[in-house]
């Protein structure tokens, strides 16, 4: 570093990475002429550094900017002119900084924004000029952060959003413009989080949506614009959650709906708009205060491969119209260790028998083989009636790829699937009397 100071004191651009790991400098004045770093800038474990004075002319870092493990760093003063980061921005384990307001001119981050484990951080105001994140946004492990003000201009996030272990975070105000996250969203272990207000514009999540261990949350209000979750919706271990109000616009979940271990959940109201297209399973398990299935009763559950309702000890009535209809159309329902009339399939069927348009007289013995298959699927339907059977091949998003119909009452049908690329698919079978979805794997030949 001494040679740099002597020989390149007037240098305005650096080609390559700059790694600063010092305990001898109180400032960064030796970089005071630098405007562009064509590489990464890492400021790591600088025990004497209290701010970033000396970076006052820095406009661009074409790689990553990482400010990590600087335990005496009090502020980011000196970085105020920075406008562009080509890679990721990482601010991690700086135990004394209280805000990041000095990023006020930053307009572009090409990768992730990772703000993690800064003990005294109270505000992330300073990132207002950033409109999109091309990687993920992570805000983790903060004891004093109350809200997310400062992220007000972000409209899209490319690979994921993770807001976890922020002890004092009360709401998500600051993300009010966010419309789409193309990857997973994880909001977990925020003990004081009471509201999702701030996500009111969020319409689409391209991966999993995971809500876990948010023990002050009573409902999901603030998510009223959310229409689709492309993969799994996971609502687990939120101790004060009473219902699912806030998800009222949600129409599509592409894989599993997983509702487990929510100790105060009394019903499922808020799910009324959900459609079964794409759903691979519904799990309602270990919600000890659940008394009814309000929220599911009007949903057409036909075609979902599996529904599991278990260990909800106060749930006495599983026989809502949609569940009865699912059973009568040969749906795969598993119930156990719930309340009265909801602990065995026989109990549920007995209650369902008294409802209109419910008939359990059809034999649901259906077999699809071989699975995996290289070319043909054979479908065996025992005691098949004279009505035809419709077959649809669906991709993993529930989109129809191929449709077949047969009017014969043959005991065995055969479908050629050799044209499909290797992968996992669903076969939907439906007739006048039943509906069933079976997953199958298309594999290559030997």
In this structure, the answer to whether residues 372 and 318 fall within a common structural domain is no
Structure-block tokens of residue 394:
């669906």
Residues of the chain below pLDDT 50: 2, 446
**Closest to 258 in 3D by CA, of 209, 202, 189:** 209
3-state SS class at 142: strand
- The number of residues making up the chain comes to 446
Among residues 110, 130, 150, the one where a domain terminates is 130
User: Which CATH number covers residue 420?
Assistant: 2.60.40.3080
Does the residue 242 lie in any domain?
no
Among residues 130, 147, 162, the one where a domain terminates is: 130
Residue 207 lies in a domain: no
Q: Are residues 43 and 83 in the same domain?
A: yes
Residues 6, 125, single domain; the answer is yes
Classify each residue of 267-290 as buried b or exposed e, where b means 16 or more C-beta atoms within 10 Å of its C-beta. bbbbbbebebbbbbbbbbbbbebb
Would you report the helix, strand and coil content of the chain in percent, each value rounded to 5? 5, 30, 65
- Cα distances from 123 to residues 101, 177, 186, 197, in angstroms, run 8, 18, 20, 17
pLDDT of residue 26: 72
Count of CA atoms in the C-beta half-sphere (13 A) of 146: 4
From the list 192, 243, 204, the residue with the least C-alpha distance to 221 is 243
Which residue in 296, 353, 61 sits closest to 52, CA to CA? 61
**Residue 419: per-residue pLDDT:** 93
- CB-CB contact of 345 with 335 (8 Å): yes
Q: Are residues 321 and 429 in the same domain?
A: no
Residue 167 lies in a domain: no
Same domain as 418, residue 318: no
Kindly report the pTM of this predicted structure: 0.84
Both tokens of 376, joined, read 């043909």
Tell me how many domains the chain contains.
3
CA–CA separation, 376 vs 230, rounded Å?
29
195 with 173: CB under 8 angstroms? no
Domain span at 53: 1-130
How far does Cα 58 stand from its chain's mean position?
A: 36
Going by the DSSP 8-state scheme, the letter that residue 5 receives in this structure is H
Residues 371, 354 share a domain: no
- Specify whether 394 is located in the same domain as 424: yes
Q: Does residue 438 share a domain with residue 317?
A: no
Examine residue 3 and state whether it is found in any structural domain, yes or no: yes
Which region, left, alpha or beta, applies to residue 69 given φ > 0 means left and ψ of -120 to 50 means alpha? left
Contact between 328 and 300 under an 8 Å Cβ cutoff? The reply is no
Q: With beta carbons less than 8 A apart as the criterion, state whether 45 and 69 touch.
A: yes
Residue-wise over 390-422: b if at least 16 C-beta within 10 A, else e?
Answer: ebbbbebebeeeeeeeeeeeeeebebebeebee
Residues sharing a CB contact under 8 Å with residue 176, sequence separation 6 or more, in sequence order: 152, 198, 200, 201
pLDDT, position 380: 84
In terms of domains, do 84 and 122 share one? yes
* Bond preceding residue 372 cis, omega within 30 of 0: yes
Buried b (16+ CB within 10 A) or exposed e, 69-107: bbeebebbebbbbbeebbbbbbbbbbeebebbbbbbebe
Residue 22 in domain: yes
Three-state SS annotation for 155-170? CEECCEEEEEEECCCC
SS3 291: coil
At 3 the pLDDT is 52
Residue 394's DSSP bridge partners are 400, 426
- Same domain? For 11 and 36 the reply is yes
Taking the C-alpha atoms of residue 196 and residue 216, their distance in angstroms, rounded to an integer, is 12
Q: Flag whether 240 is in a domain.
A: no
Regarding beta strands 389-394 and 423-430, do their DSSP bridges make them parallel or antiparallel, or are they unpaired? antiparallel
Using one digit for the tens of pLDDT, what is the confidence trace for 5-26? Answer: 556 667 899 999 999 987 766 7
Is 193 part of any domain?
no
The answer to whether the CB of 149 falls within 8 A of the CB of 176 is: no
Tokens of 405: 């119909």
Note the pLDDT of residue 27. 81
In order, the DSSP letters of 237-278 are --TT----TT-TT--EESSEEEEE--TT----TT-TT---TT
Query: Quick one: 361 exposed, middle or buried, by C-beta within 10 A (0-12, 13-18, 19+)?
Result: exposed
Same-domain pairing of 108 and 2: yes
Of the candidates 358, 377, 406, which is a domain's last residue? 358
How many angstroms separate the CA atoms of 158 and 137, rounded? Answer: 9
The per-residue pLDDT for 386 is 52
The reported pLDDT for the residue numbered 446 is 46
Residues 340 and 372 in one domain: no
> Residue 18: inside a domain, yes or no?
yes
């Amino acid at each position: 570093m001494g040679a740099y100071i002597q020989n390149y004191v007037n240098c305005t651009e650096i080609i390559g990475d700059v790694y600063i790991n010092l305990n001898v400098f109180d400032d960064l004045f030796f970089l005071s002429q630098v405007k562009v770093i064509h590489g990464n800038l890492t400021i790591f474990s600088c025990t004497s550094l209290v701010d970033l004075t000396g970076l006052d002319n820095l406009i661009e870092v074409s790689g990553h900017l990482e400010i990590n493990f600087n335990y005496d760093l009090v502020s980011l003063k000196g970085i105020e002119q920075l406008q562009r980061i080509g890679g990721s921005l990482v601010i991690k384990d700086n135990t004394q900084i209280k805000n990041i307001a000095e990023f006020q001119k930053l307009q572009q981050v090409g990768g992730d924004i990772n703000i993690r484990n800064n003990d005294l951080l109270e505000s992330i105001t300073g990132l207002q000029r950033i409109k999109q994140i091309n990687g993920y946004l992570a805000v983790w492990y903060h004891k004093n952060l109350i809200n997310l003000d400062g992220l007000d201009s972000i409209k899209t996030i490319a690979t994921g959003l993770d807001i976890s272990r922020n002890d004092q975070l009360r709401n998500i105000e600051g993300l009010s413009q966010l419309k789409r996250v193309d990857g997973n969203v994880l909001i977990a272990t925020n003990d004081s989080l009471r509201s999702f207000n701030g996500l009111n514009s969020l319409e689409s999540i391209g991966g999993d949506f995971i809500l876990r261990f948010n023990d002050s949350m009573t409902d999901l209000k603030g998510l009223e614009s959310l229409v689709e979750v492309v993969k799994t919706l996971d609502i687990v271990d939120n101790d004060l959650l009473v219902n699912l109000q806030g998800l009222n616009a949600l129409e599509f979940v592409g894989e599993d709906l997983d509702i487990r271990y929510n100790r105060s959940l009394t019903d499922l109201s808020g799910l009324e708009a959900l459609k079964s297209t794409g759903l691979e399973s519904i799990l309602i398990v270990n919600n000890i205060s659940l008394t009814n299935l309000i929220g599911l009763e009007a949903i057409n559950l036909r075609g979902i491969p599996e529904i599991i309702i278990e260990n909800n000890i106060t749930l006495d009535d599983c026989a809502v119209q949609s569940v009865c209809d699912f059973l009568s159309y040969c749906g795969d329902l598993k119930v156990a260790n719930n309340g009265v009339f909801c602990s065995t399939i026989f109990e549920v069927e007995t209650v369902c028998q008294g409802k209109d348009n419910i008939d359990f007289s059809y034999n649901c013995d259906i077999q699809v083989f071989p699975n995996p298959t290289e070319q043909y699927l054979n479908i065996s339907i025992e005691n098949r009636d004279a009505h035809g059977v419709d077959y649809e091949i669906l991709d993993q998003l529930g989109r129809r790829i191929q449709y077949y119909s047969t009017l014969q009452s043959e005991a065995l049908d055969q479908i050629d699937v050799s044209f499909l690329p290797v992968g996992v698919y669903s076969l939907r079978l439906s007739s006048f009397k039943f509906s069933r979805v079976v997953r199958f794997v298309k594999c290559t030949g030997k």
